[in-house]
Each structure stands twice: as C-alpha cells, then as structure tokens.
Amino acid sequence: MKSTDSFLDPRMSAFGESRSSMAVSRLTRARNAGADIVSLLVGEPDFDTPAHIRKAACDAIAAGHTRYTVSAGILPLREAVCRKLARDNGVACDPSRVIVTTGAKQAIFLAFMATVGQGDEVIVPAPYWVSYPEMVRLFGGTPVIVPGHPARGLKADPAALAAAITPRTKWLVLNFPANPTGANLTLQDATALARLLEEHPHVRLMTDEVYEHVVFAGGLASHPLALAPRLADRVLIVNSLSKTYAMTGWRVGYAAGPQALIDAMVSLQSQSTSNTCTVAQHAALAALDGPQGFIQAWRSEYASRWRLLVRRLDGRFGLRCVEPEGAFYVFVDCLSVIGRVRPDGRLIERDGDVADYLFDHGVAVIEGDAFGMSPWFRASVATSEMNIDKACDRIVAALERLQ
C-alpha cells in the first residue's frame, strides 16, 4: 500500500512495493496460517546452487576474503564477465566498463538513477517485468508502454517501438528471454534493434538478459551489440548469476556498458552499498569460469515442465497459453473467465479476480495487470512436475465451478 505520511517525499505516493513480492508475502501469510497452496509464483530455480560454486564460497571464507572490495567489484570477477560476454554474446568489453552489483535489479536501479530525470521518457514493451515502470517513475521519468503484438508472441513490433520514440526518450528497455512471456530475441529482432538505434542517436538500449541461458528454441540469438559494435557507447548489458546458476539469494549481478555511465554507477554504489558481498563475488567467479554442463540439464527440465502445464491448460475453458521460448514462465490468456460468476456469487471482472479465485482454490499465480497486460496471469514452472500437475488439477476444478 502506498503511504500518505507527510514526512515522506511526495514521489513515494506513486511508488509501491513490487507486485510479485506482495504475492509472495500473501502466500507466506496463508501458509503460516495453515493453508495448502501450490505456488506457481516464484521466479527462481528450484535447484540447489551447484556444488563447485558453494565450495568456492567456503574456500573464499577460509582464505580470508571477507573484507571490503572496490565498489566496482573484484577485478578477477569483472575480467570473468568480459570473458563471458565474448564467449556467449560475441561482445568485447574491458573490465573498466563493468560493475558488479547486488543483483541485476540494483544494476538497473543505479543506471536509471544516474540517467533519468524529470520529464525523461523510457520505452518499456509490455508485458514487462514489474519493476521497470516503478523505477522510472521514482526518478521523475515517464514509462512509455508499448503493448506486445499477439502475432509476435507478445513481443513489441519494431515499428511500434520506433513510433514511441520522441526527443525526450532516454532509454529503450528490453528483457530477453522475457519475464513473463518467455519471448526471446531473434536474429531479425537484433538486426532491427541495431538499425533503430542507428536511426535515433539520442536513444540508449538497456538489455536485461538474466534468463539468457534458459532458452528452449533457437538457442542464444546474436546480440545487437555483436551485430553493431559501434553502438557500444549506447548499450548497457545487465545480467546476473541468479537464474542461470540458481544463485538468487547470493545477490550478484553485473552491468557492462559505456564508461561514463559505469563510472557514475560505481560512484552511486560507493555512496550506498559500497560493494557486493565479497564471498558471493568469489562464488560468482567460480560460476562464470567453472563447468557449464549442468545448464543444459536444467533447461531440459524447465522445458518438460512448461510443456506439461501447457498440455494441461491450453484450450481448457477458453484459456490460451503462450508457449515460451525461454525463461521459466507460462503466460496465460484468461479473457474467457472474465464475466463469469464464482460459486459465492461474486463476479470475476479482471485478471486480479481470477488470481484471487485460484488462490482461494489452492493455487498462487500473478495477475497479468502486474506486468502491464490484462486479462492474463503468469504461472512459474520453477517447481516440480508433481506440483504443476496438482496446480492444474485445482485450476481445472475451480474453473468448472464457475457459472
């Protein structure tokens, strides 16, 4: 709930808690009260952090790596990020143009803090990750929402993105594979993006790539910066260790981009959190430079799970599932449920009502409105097939009871 306390700065009246965090808090309260809820909420792997990464953290503690580091992060880790960018993305980068942050979320926050001011515009394709518009508003900017095109798997059309650009546009923010749809960037998309940036030299591109290795179709697409290296001073790559390496709680992210922007972000970090946890940085180094073979096994497991959920729900009671190309979510069109009546006589008027109704029947999902697109809901498949089956049983049973 947004606060009206007069002690707070007025900007806080338009700034609220993350909708996904609110959903998790609601789930926790219900479970603490004894409710049996199957969660399809959480955006984190249900696998353990690989053993070699955990061992690296223990070794770091034993070696005494428990003190402050430079605010930008330890040099070996920033060098590892550069090796990773060259290996996986075809992007050349110097360690001086890398900052290690407390998760990708902090990297995005610092970048907006350093660049977005009153009246600036940031183009955000919808559906979007819940925090982008809120962060933009916090710093006085205006999020310009561009709806995704159904024929493109809810990806924004390049022409629509171009039409949204004005003289006040500061950033175009892209997340691929995307949360909540799983839509991925194709070579054609990357080429169009590079061309768009060349046509509008005042626009910067921020790429949020935290799900880059959770891809099911087509593999890793060519990066826009690999196609057009001359755009290096206008592209900020944001990533983290959270999704690929099951390190959500370790809180290690990074950004690579223009020198002036990275320097500004380092200055902001030095005045706020100082540095990312030293032990976690050493674990991240082992993750980036260590064995990568387990990623394919995890990817196959996620693919099996989303296929199960789509098989169980797609077409039932008019539900329509977008088959993901990556990430570990299925985005479900629930328009067919709007206007139906619950057994208790209450009308379902919006996707939030759908999410509430399913919660009352033992399944937690997040309404599409949180991601800027209604009426949909997001279901995470970062859980066991047994849980997915149980959740689908409950969803079907709940929808059967509607009038």
pLDDT, residue 62, reads 98
Find where tokens 């907006």 sit.
112
Contact between 89 and 226 (Cβ < 8 Å): yes
- What is the rounded distance in angstroms from the CA atom of residue 323 to the CA atom of residue 296? 19
- Residues spanned by CATH 3.90.1150.10 within the chain? 10-48+294-400
pLDDT, residue 217, reads 75
- Residues spanned by CATH 3.40.640.10 within the chain? 67-289
- What is the rounded distance in angstroms from the CA atom of residue 266 to the CA atom of residue 280? 18
Type of residue found at 109: F
Residue 226 burial (CB < 10 Å; 0-12/13-18/19+)? middle
Residue 32 burial (CB < 10 Å; 0-12/13-18/19+)? exposed
Residue 144 burial (CB < 10 Å; 0-12/13-18/19+)? buried
- What is the rounded distance in angstroms from the CA atom of residue 346 to the CA atom of residue 13? 31
pLDDT, residue 373, reads 96
Task: Please state the pTM of the whole predicted model.
Answer: 0.94
pLDDT, residue 210, reads 97
Relative orientation angle of helices 385-400 and 294-313, to the nearest 10 degrees: 20
Type of residue found at 396: V
What phi, psi does 141 have (nearest 5°)?
Answer: -85, 175
Tell me if the bond preceding 343 is cis, omega within 30° of 0: no
What CATH number should be reported for the domain whose range is 10-48+294-400?
A: 3.90.1150.10
Find where tokens 């208790």 sit.
344
Q: Where are the alpha helices (DSSP H) in 202-258?
A: 224-227
Beta-sheet strand order (sheet of 98-101) = 98-101, 253-256, 235-240, 204-208, 169-175, 121-126, 142-147
Number of H helices, E strands in the chain: 13, 13
Class of domain 67-289: alpha beta
pLDDT, residue 219, reads 62
Contact between 206 and 236 (Cβ < 8 Å): yes
pLDDT, residue 1, reads 45
pLDDT, residue 22, reads 78
- What is the rounded distance in angstroms from the CA atom of residue 199 to the CA atom of residue 196? 5
Q: SS3 breakdown of the chain: % helix, strand, coil, rounded to 5? A: 45, 15, 40
User: Which helix (H) or strand (E) element contains residue 189?
Assistant: helix 187-199
Per-residue pLDDT of the chain (403 residues), as tens digits, is 455 567 888 888 777 777 777 777 887 888 888 889 999 998 899 999 999 999 999 999 999 999 999 999 999 999 999 999 999 999 999 999 999 999 999 999 999 999 999 999 999 999 999 999 999 999 999 999 999 988 888 999 999 999 999 999 999 999 999 999 999 988 898 999 999 999 999 999 999 999 999 999 766 668 999 999 999 999 999 999 999 999 999 999 999 999 999 999 999 999 999 999 999 999 999 999 999 999 999 999 999 999 999 999 999 999 999 999 999 999 999 999 999 999 999 999 999 999 999 999 999 999 999 999 999 999 999 999 999 999 999 999 999 999 9
Q: Give, rounded to a whole angstrom, the gap between the first and last alpha carbons of the chain.
A: 32
